[in-house]
């Protein structure tokens, strides 16, 4: 009996036939999105397919499945919204199953007295946010993948949202969680306002990308929502460097706009086209949220800071356009429309996010913009924007497009681009090669350099929690 037949048979016996999907068609499309969809457009057949997909409807089912996989050396990829972008969901061998937590989509509890919500891992964030908005609350977490993503995956990838400068990244929002260890043992980290009982164990799960545990339920903060009080301001600045200085000033002075974004012309033209910029100019905008008085006061101060850097105030219309179109990319991902464009133009659009402190981010941006076109012949466009800022630094989100060759090996061009960016970034002491998309399999090869001597801690965690290396091998930590 082959491995697939045995695994499917055993899991069917444990969970019931309605929980197992194993037909060839479903296995063929189980591949992750992003660069693999480019290959799919040309009829790419994945080299490796999962043995089956387990649709887990409860933590107990996750537990039983993981226990089985641990006992039988079956590898597991955790999946909910399937919107990750760094090949987290890429199947790399022939003994892997997906545990799909999307049936676990219940909002367990909304506690407005204590300002937390508990939701299962498969709860679509868009549905949860809509539910909260109806009552005047918000998660404060709005990734560009909002139309597609689910809570479990967002926590697992340590994601950040478009309003993170004010509300924080997911790591600031998670109060507690429940998960299942690779051996099937369930664990729970109770949600408390703060705890000093040793290292913060939440952070073993947050950002673990399915390589350590399977997250089954999360409790996150919620916030009062004041959409009608939002302050917005759009500006054109002389150049990207000036914009960086202005953004830094805003952050260092202590303001926390919910959105702070700075776009170079290439990015604006390619992705939005909403602001007509001259050659070196950059588009910068802010939003401020909060209770009465705060948005206006902070907005007025931010406005003065922007003007002090020679920025031209262009009002709010461009910001409104950004709100309207910010997640539109989700409408075409994986659709036939996208496939036709791939087949006709051979152009694939992608992004890569890095982060560094204020003193180095400008240099990193300049060096990347100068060197990447030289080392990546397939580059069709390259631009960047700032989208998540901190007291001590900010990110840069490179947006780029590659003209691909042979579809089956197209991903290699993207991997080379990623490596080229890592080559630039890793020269800078304050920089990280990954801001919020996660390492996945795409950047796993550079994780040792990224973490330096602290990589040993990650290895130890992996070895003690997942000694059999069944949890998404190759993701986060490279094989070998």
Partner 1 sequence: MKRICVCFKVVDDFDEVLPSDWDEAGGDGPDLAYVRRILGDFDEAALENALLVKDAYRALGIGADLTALTLAPGYADHILRNFAAVGVDRTVCLETQEDLRFSPERTASALADFILGGPPPDIVLAGLMTPPGGSGAVPLFLAEYLGLPCVTEAISLTPARDCVAVEHRVDSGICRREMLTAFLCTIGNARRSYLRVPTLREALRAPAPAIEHVESKIAGSRGGLKPLSVRREDRRRDCLFSEGADASDHAAFLYERVIKEALL
Partner 2 sequence: MRIVGIVDASCPGHGGDTAARLMGAAARAGACGGGAEASLWCMADGGPAPRRPWPAGRVVIAEGASAAAGASGHCPEAPLKALEALVREHRPDLLLFPADRAGRELAVRLSARAGIPCSLDVPDLAPDGDRLLLFREIYNGNLEAVFPCETPHILTLRLSGFEPAAPFADPEIVRVRAEAGGDAPCVCRNVLVEAVEPEKGLEDAGLVVVCGAGFASESAMEQANALAGALGGVVAGTRPVGIDGRVPPSRIVGISGTQIQPRLCLVLGASGARAFAVGIYGSACIVGVNTDAQAPLFKSCDAAAVCDAGEFARALTDIVSSKGKRGGADARDPRRMSQG
Question: 40 vs 385, which CB is nearer to partner 2?
Answer: 40
Is residue 380 within the footprint of partner 1 (CB under 8 A)? yes
What is the spatial distance between Cα 328 and Cα 306, in angstroms, rounded to a whole number? 28
**Ramachandran bin of 160, using left for φ above 0, alpha for ψ from -120 to 50, beta for the remaining angles:** beta
Is residue 172 within the footprint of partner 1 (CB under 8 A)? no
Question: 113 vs 336, which CB is nearer to partner 2?
Answer: 336
What is the spatial distance between Cα 304 and Cα 168, in angstroms, rounded to a whole number? 25
> What is the DSSP code string of 345-412?
H-EEEEEEEEEEEHHHHHHHHHHHHHHHHHH-TTEEEEEEEE--EETTEEEEEEEEEEE--SGGGHHH
Residue 382, contacted partner among partner 2, partner 1, none, CB below 5-8 A by kind: partner 1
* Structure tokens given for 295: 């948005």
In whole angstroms, how close is the CB of 11 to partner 2 at the nearest point?
A: 23
* Structure tokens given for 290: 């909060």
Residue of 34, 149, 284, 382 that binds partner 1 (CB under 8 A): 382
What is the spatial distance between Cα 61 and Cα 12, in angstroms, rounded to a whole number? 11
Is residue 340 within the footprint of partner 1 (CB under 8 A)? yes
What is the spatial distance between Cα 17 and Cα 13, in angstroms, rounded to a whole number? 8
Q: How many CA atoms lie within 13 A of 136 on its CB side?
A: 6
What value does the CA radius of gyration of the chain take, rounded to a whole number of Å? 22
Question: 110 vs 380, which CB is nearer to partner 1?
Answer: 380
Helix (H, G, I), strand (E, B) or coil at 246: helix
Residue 463, contacted partner among partner 2, partner 1, none, CB below 5-8 A by kind: none
Residue of 60, 269, 367, 419 that binds partner 1 (CB under 8 A): 269
Map residues 346-365 to x or -, x wherever contact with partner 1 holds by CB under 8 A: -x------------------
Question: 16 vs 377, which CB is nearer to partner 1?
Answer: 377
Is residue 273 within the footprint of partner 1 (CB under 8 A)? yes
Residue 203, contacted partner among partner 2, partner 1, none, CB below 5-8 A by kind: none
Residue 392, contacted partner among partner 2, partner 1, none, CB below 5-8 A by kind: none
Question: 135 vs 331, which CB is nearer to partner 2?
Answer: 331
Contacts of partner 2 in 337-356 (CB under 8 A): 337, 339-340
Question: 53 vs 434, which CB is nearer to partner 1?
Answer: 53
Is residue 335 within the footprint of partner 2 (CB under 8 A)? yes
In whole angstroms, how close is the CB of 257 to partner 1 at the nearest point?
A: 20
> What is the DSSP code string of 4-69?
HHHHHHHHHHHH-GGGEE--HHHHHT-S-STHHHHHHHTT---SS--S-EEE--SHHHHHHHHHHH
In whole angstroms, how close is the CB of 296 to partner 1 at the nearest point?
A: 21
Question: 103 vs 176, which CB is nearer to partner 2?
Answer: 103
What is the spatial distance between Cα 157 and Cα 141, in angstroms, rounded to a whole number? 13
Is residue 345 within the footprint of partner 1 (CB under 8 A)? yes
Residue 336, contacted partner among partner 2, partner 1, none, CB below 5-8 A by kind: partner 2
Question: 44 vs 272, which CB is nearer to partner 1?
Answer: 272
Burial class (CB in 10 A: 0-12, 13-18, 19+), 219: buried
Which residues lie below 8 Å from residue 155, measured CB to CB, with a gap of 6+? 121, 170, 174, 177, 205, 206, 215, 218
List of residues contacting partner 2 (CB under 8 A): 25, 126-127, 130, 147, 331-332, 335-337, 339-340
List of residues contacting partner 1 (CB under 8 A): 269-270, 272-276, 317-318, 320-321, 324-325, 340-341, 344-345, 347, 373, 377-382, 401, 403
């Amino acid at each position: 009996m082959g491995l697939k037949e045995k695994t499917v048979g055993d899991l069917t016996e444990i969970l019931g036939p309605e929980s197992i999907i194993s037909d060839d068609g479903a296995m063929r499309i189980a591949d992750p999105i992003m660069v693999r969809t480019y290959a799919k457009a040309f009829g790419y057949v994945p080299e490796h397919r999962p043995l089956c997909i387990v649709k887990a409807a409860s933590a107990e089912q996750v537990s039983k499945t993981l226990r089985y996989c641990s006992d039988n050396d079956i590898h597991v990829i955790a999946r909910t919204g399937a919107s990750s972008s760094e090949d987290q969901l890429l199947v790399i061998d022939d003994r892997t199953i997906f545990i799909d937590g999307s049936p676990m989509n219940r909002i367990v509890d909304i506690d407005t007295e204590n300002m937390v919500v508990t939701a299962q891992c498969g709860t679509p964030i868009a549905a949860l946010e809509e539910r909260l908005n109806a009552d005047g609350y918000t998660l404060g977490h709005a990734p560009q993948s909002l139309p597609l993503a689910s809570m479990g995956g967002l926590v697992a990838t340590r994601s950040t949202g478009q309003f993170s400068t004010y509300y924080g990244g997911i790591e600031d929002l998670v109060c507690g969680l429940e998960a299942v260890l690779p051996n099937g043992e369930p664990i729970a980290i109770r949600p408390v306002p703060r705890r000093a009982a040793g290292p913060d164990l939440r952070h073993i799960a947050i950002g673990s990308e399915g390589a350590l545990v399977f997250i089954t339920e999360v409790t996150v903060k919620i916030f009062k929502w004041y959409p009608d009080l939002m302050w917005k301001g759009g500006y054109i600045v002389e150049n990207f460097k000036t914009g960086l200085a202005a953004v830094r000033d805003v952050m260092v002075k202590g303001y926390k706009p919910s959105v702070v974004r700075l776009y170079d012309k290439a990015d604006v033209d390619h992705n939005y086209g909403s602001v007509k910029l001259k050659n070196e100019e950059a588009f910068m905008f802010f939003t401020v949220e909060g209770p009465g008085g705060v948005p206006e006061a902070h907005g007025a101060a931010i406005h003065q800071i922007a003007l002090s850097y020679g920025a031209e105030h262009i009002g709010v219309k461009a910001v409104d356009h950004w709100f309207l179109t910010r997640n539109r990319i989700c409408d075409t991902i994986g659709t036939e429309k996208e496939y036709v464009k791939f087949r006709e133009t051979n152009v694939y659009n992608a992004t890569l996010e890095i982060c560094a402190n204020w003193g180095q981010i400008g240099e990193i941006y300049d060096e990347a913009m100068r060197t990447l076109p030289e080392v990546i012949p397939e580059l069709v466009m390259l631009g960047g924007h700032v989208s998540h800022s901190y007291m001590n630094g900010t990110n840069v989100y490179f947006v780029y497009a590659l003209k691909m060759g042979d579809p089956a090996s197209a991903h290699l061009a993207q991997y080379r681009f990623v490596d080229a960016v890592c080559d630039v970034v890793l020269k800078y002491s304050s920089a990280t090669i990954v801001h919020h998309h996660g390492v996945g399999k795409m950047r796993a090869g550079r994780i040792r350099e990224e973490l330096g001597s602290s990589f040993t801690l990650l290895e130890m965690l992996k070895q003690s929690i997942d000694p059999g290396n069944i949890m998404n091998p190759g993701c986060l930590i490279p094989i070998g």
